[in-house]
Amino acid sequence: MRCRPPRTPGEASRGGAGQAQVSGKCDEEGSQAAAVQGRQNLAKAEIGIIGGSGLYNMDGLTNVSEHRIPTPFGDPSEVFLLGSIEGRQVAFLARHGKGHRILPSELNFRANIYAMKWLGVSSILSVSAVGSLKEEHKPTEFIIPDQFIDRTFARSSTFFGDGVVGHIGFGDPVCPIVSDVFAQACAEVGVVGKRGGVYVCMEGPQFSTRAESNLYRSWGADVIGMTNLQEAKLAREAEISYATLAMVTDYDCWFDGHDAVTVEQIVAVMHQNSGNAQKVIKAAVRRMPSDLSASPAQTAAKFAIMTDRSAIPAETRVRLELLFGKYW
């Protein structure tokens, strides 16, 4: 039986560089060799940036090149912008694609995080728009959540499966080092950045009912959004240190007067948030430690795999080699 050729990422920049060619062999050795060749041909990054609603590009990014990176899990949301900020090599991805064309439920979270791993990033600075569930969290303020509540039901949230079982510890779902970097960066640029809080991740695309919004408030949740939990789960499996900067755009529907808020007002807040987020990210990139070995994310998968190594299918081994090959 013929095996499907593995989709190994290679370079496909608009500058005309050739895409890495991948052998169609099914054997693990041939696929891994092609993968290594593809990575050697591709520029690398140390810090990943995922921009959410209102943040579709990065100001101050120099020496920019565009790279389309196919993965074993399909295509990421958009081409990656690789370049330099504050002397650090970064990879930027617009979460919803250019023109904001991808629904939260349609996002290929696995491809996005796999591609970040392929590029060599050790940390991810994630930015997203959220609604506030507490009156003290005002529009234009930033929250740096340290916990999540999962209210999604139609998404892939793990790299495991297809013959390999793994369980990652997720009690503390974000990296404290990256969260501290975000908080320090907010203080540096003079914007309100509150460290800690609970992010409710809902399926969407509809917003909450008032009953749901009040339920989440009764749980003590701080903000509500539609995207960050899957990223956090997959980044932890991929041993990438991850944290999110949640930009408050408005109060959720529990708030009296919520319905009086106009689209124009929300858009104005998003523009202000985007400008502030650009400043915070720039400062965070500069402050990010080059050595993240103390981050719990960096060895998160060390004892995760439960499957007898001899029982893992060869095709699954090839697909997950980048992520877990050192633990086979």
Give the domains, in start order, of the chain with CATH numbers. 28-327 (3.40.50.1580)
Q: Which residues contact 322 (CB under 8 A, 6 or more apart)?
A: 35, 114, 117, 118
pLDDT band per the 50, 70, 90 thresholds, residue 152: very high
Inform me whether the pLDDT recorded for 40 exceeds 70.
Answer: no
Residue 285, Cα to own-chain centre: how many angstroms? 16
88-101: pLDDT as tens digits = 999 999 999 999 99
Q: Which residues are catalytic?
A: 250, 252
Model pLDDT for residues 228-265, shown as the tens digit of each residue: 999 999 999 999 999 999 999 999 999 998 876 777 88
- Those residues whose C-beta lies under 8 Å from the C-beta of residue 195, and which sit 6 or more positions away, are 144, 146, 179, 180, 182, 183
